[in-house]
Amino acid sequence: MATVQTQPVRSGFSALSDHERQEALSFLLVSDEDAVLDGAWEDRPLAKSATLSPSPIEATSEQSSTSQSSLESSRSPSPSSSQLASPSASLLIRSKCQGWERSFELHQDWPIPTIEQEDEVLIQHKSVGLNPVDYKSVLYNFGIPQSPWVLGRDVCGVVKEVGKNVKHLLPGQRVWTCADSRDRRSGAYQGFSVAKAVHIGLVPDIIQDEQAATLGTGLITAAISAFWFFRWPRASQLTGGNVEAVATSSKDRISASPSFMPQENSPWVLIYGGGAITGIFLAQLARLSGSRVIAVASSSNIDYLTSAQVGVSHCIDRFLPQEEIAEKVRSICENDGGLQFIVDTVGSKTAGFSYDLAANIGTSSSTLPPAQMICLAGDPKNPQKGSKDVIVHRISFSTTFYGDDVFATQLLQDLTKLMQQKQLHPVKYEIVPDGLAGVRKGLERLRDNQAPRACKLIVNVADTPDAQLTHLGVRAELGWNGV
């Protein structure tokens, strides 16, 4: 049963008094490093790596009609700053030099972030997703430019306030976003956050809050890979298997396609680590664009990945010897065009293995373009040239989703339509108890490889314990022994 705290001099969930806290904070070291969304990835350049220069796509003026049925048809007045002045809970990263447990502090009176630009939106969080990059930020001391900091990328919530230049979002609408980790106001592990309107997508009514919390980083990473770098056909306006006529140009990052189901002789895509969240979304986008997918994943995920919901054509057990994996991939696509697209979500070793497969399966042809590869967890080391050229792209959020507002706007509209039409599906999820108080324990499961496969860990913010309550060992789990 919950017990009542009887020490009013303590702030939030900390065991230190306010005076002790200030003295302790004066000794903390602050990181100089820039926070980047994909900073956990070993993103070292290759001699022949290629990054396409940005070019805008033609955004449509159509906005998704998705909203809660209870919304008023006219714009509701935005809350004033005074209405939102009360504090909310936040999971702070206090110091990276005090060990894992002492780096986290659940702060109950963290100020609600405020809108600073006219194109920004204040979001009240409902459910947020956990990402491996967050525990890596704490362990390896990167992406935390100052202390305290708020981590977290994947947000589902409700619009509370909009800047005066925001016309397509209204207070009360359910939204999701992939938070810009360079801005502390945007962190997911708090009650409210601020994001640019162009980086916010509407949540269709058929999608639950917990499902929307699985989108964020995984879906946006997959979409950038598919449409910015691989230039896969656009699958935004699918109706009965056909794409409606849309305005396109040769410079579009997302172009029209006559079909969304894989066809004979369509490109082969290899996803090494197909059970990763990004891998699952990428497999869906590949299917929608007409490609065929080979996934290397745990055997326990084969039924899910090859289901109609995801659409993988062939799934290979990742625990097989690499020679056997290579032979299975070769038997599938060697005489059928070889591998055209490769995404590795595991690490440098598997990236090198995948690179060699792409370079040596099939033969080089003047009629076939080079294979293209994206490495999300480390580039291949010392890749060897084979019979076919392989272009390795270095994925970046700052020059794509965060750097091109036209691309971001069109992309979110497209993804919303696909979810509305039940063509694109959120991934499976598991709720971690205790809301923001459970985030640290959830990150430990990711760190220790104890999280469920092909499944997203999420927390419901409303489950966060009140400042005056302790239960289920939350006090001990959060390392209440101070900074």
DSSP secondary structure string, 6-32?
Answer: --TTB-TT-SSBHHHHHHHHTT-----
Return d(Cα 151, Cα 220) in angstroms, integer: 18
Q: Which helix (H) or strand (E) holds 89?
A: strand 88-93
Lowest pLDDT segment from 50-64, 314-328, 391-405, 435-449: 50-64
Give the pLDDT band (50/70/90) at residue 107. confident
Return d(Cα 234, Cα 222) in angstroms, integer: 13
**Cα–Cα separations (whole angstroms), residue 21 to 94, 186, 345:** 11, 25, 40
Sorted by sequence, the CB contacts under 8 Å of residue 164 that are 6+ apart come out as 118
- Going by the DSSP 8-state scheme, the letter that residue 248 receives in this structure is -
Return d(Cα 24, Cα 432) in angstroms, integer: 31
Quick one: residue 202, left, alpha or beta (phi over 0 = left, psi -120 to 50 = alpha)? beta
Average confidence (pLDDT) over 131-147: 88
Contact 198, 189 (CB under 8 A): no
Lowest pLDDT segment from 100-104, 145-149, 157-161: 100-104
Sign of CA pseudo-dihedral 459, 465, 471, 477: positive
Report whether pLDDT(253) > 60. no
Return d(Cα 125, Cα 106) in angstroms, integer: 16
Domains plus CATH for the chain? 3-36+86-215+455-476 (3.90.180.10), 218-241+255-393 (3.40.50.720)
Lowest pLDDT segment from 28-42, 222-236, 307-321, 437-451: 28-42
Report whether pLDDT(479) > 80. no
Report whether pLDDT(381) > 90. no
Return d(Cα 369, Cα 397) in angstroms, integer: 25
Return d(Cα 186, Cα 194) in angstroms, integer: 5
382-395 pLDDT, tens per residue?
888 888 899 999 99
* Best CA proximity match to 201, nearest among 405, 421, 408, 59: 408
Report whether pLDDT(476) > 90. no
* Best CA proximity match to 370, nearest among 391, 345, 343: 391
Give the pLDDT band (50/70/90) at residue 419. very high
Report whether pLDDT(27) > 90. no
Average confidence (pLDDT) over 400-419: 94
Report whether pLDDT(403) > 50. yes
Sorted by sequence, the CB contacts under 8 Å of residue 239 that are 6+ apart come out as 421
Return d(Cα 271, Cα 396) in angstroms, integer: 19
Give the pLDDT band (50/70/90) at residue 447. very high
Report whether pLDDT(80) > 60. no
What was the pLDDT predicted at 364?
57
Q: Say which residue, 270 or 101, is predicted with more confidence.
A: 270
What was the pLDDT predicted at 183?
93
**Look-up: residue for tokens 């997302």?**
254
Give the pLDDT band (50/70/90) at residue 47. very low
Give the pLDDT band (50/70/90) at residue 266. confident
Q: Would you call 263 exposed, middle or buried from its count of C-beta atoms within 10 A (0-12, 13-18, 19+)?
A: exposed
Give the pLDDT band (50/70/90) at residue 317. very high
Contact 464, 436 (CB under 8 A): yes
Q: Say which residue, 59 or 206, is predicted with more confidence.
A: 206
Q: Taking the model in full, what pTM does it have?
A: 0.77
What was the pLDDT predicted at 411?
94
Contact 208, 258 (CB under 8 A): no
Q: Are strands 390-393 and 371-375 parallel, antiparallel or unpaired?
A: parallel
Q: Are strands 88-93 and 149-150 parallel, antiparallel or unpaired?
A: antiparallel
Return d(Cα 14, Cα 362) in angstroms, integer: 60
Q: Are strands 120-129 and 455-460 parallel, antiparallel or unpaired?
A: antiparallel
Contact 430, 458 (CB under 8 A): yes
- In the chain, the amino acid numbered 443 is L
Sorted by sequence, the CB contacts under 8 Å of residue 381 that are 6+ apart come out as 348, 352
What was the pLDDT predicted at 87?
67
- Going by the DSSP 8-state scheme, the letter that residue 447 receives in this structure is H
Mean pLDDT of the chain: 78
Report whether pLDDT(463) > 70. yes
